[in-house]
Amino acid sequence: MKDLVFRFCKIAFVVIFSLFLRGDVINPIDPRENAVWHNDRGIDYLQKGFYYGAVQEFKLAILLNDNSPSSGVFYNNLGETYMKLGQYSWAVDCFEQSLRYNPNFIYYYENYAKALNKSGRLNSQIQKYKQQSSTSPNVSSNWLMLGIFYKEKGNKKQAVECFDRFLELEPKIILTHSVRRIRNDLK
């Protein structure tokens, strides 16, 4: 009888173990889905004013799905939360990351400029990009950044000039339409 019970347990173990290996019993966790879920919770917390909870949710989303274009969204949301908390330097870091992961949204550039302005670092960045644009006048990103920075400072004329230069260099990229819209709004 003991031998029969032992054989039954052995067979049951092999069957259950094989089901685990096939994935029929346990569904694997999809980190991308969980990242989106945490991002959505973070947005909900942010809208309700629960900023510290939102920070944790956005950090979890980043940890679950780092190094992808969607990470730009998560970093941007984290940066917006830090702005609400008055942590402007941390927000600058987040917006830099959002631009690194997904540089195709003008909103990320505008958030970056606002955070730089609030942290007192906008003027130094303007000087940096002015230097870069004079040494490398055909690098369109320098002109875009300068235009965004001048717009943030309220220097409409200089912003329009920089946006015009950007549009000359990049007439057909994803950002072109957004930059043209901003330039037209400033005129």
Per-residue model confidence as pLDDT tens digits over 8-18? 656 655 556 55
Last residue of a domain, one of 105, 129, 147: 105
- The tens digit of pLDDT for each residue in 26-39 reads 556 677 788 899 99
- Domains contained in the chain, number: 2
CB 38 within 8 A of CB 57: yes
Does residue 149 share a domain with residue 83? no
What is the C-alpha to C-alpha distance for residues 103 and 72, in angstroms, rounded to an integer? 8
DSSP secondary structure letter of residue 134:
H
Does residue 144 share a domain with residue 96? no
What is the C-alpha to C-alpha distance for residues 43 and 58, in angstroms, rounded to an integer? 8
Residue type, 42: G
In a domain, 133, yes or no: yes
Question: Residue 81: which domain range?
Answer: 31-105
Q: Where would I find the H helices in 86-173?
A: 88-101, 106-118, 122-135, 140-153, 156-169
With a pLDDT cut of 70, the percent of the chain lying above it is 84
CB 149 within 8 A of CB 125: yes
- Cα 43 vs. chain centroid, distance in angstroms? 13
Last residue of a domain, one of 45, 73, 105: 105
In a domain, 1, yes or no: no
- The tens digit of pLDDT for each residue in 113-157 reads 999 999 999 999 999 999 999 999 999 999 999 999 999 999 999
What is the C-alpha to C-alpha distance for residues 30 and 41, in angstroms, rounded to an integer? 17
In a domain, 18, yes or no: no
Could you tell me the pTM of the whole model? 0.82
In a domain, 42, yes or no: yes
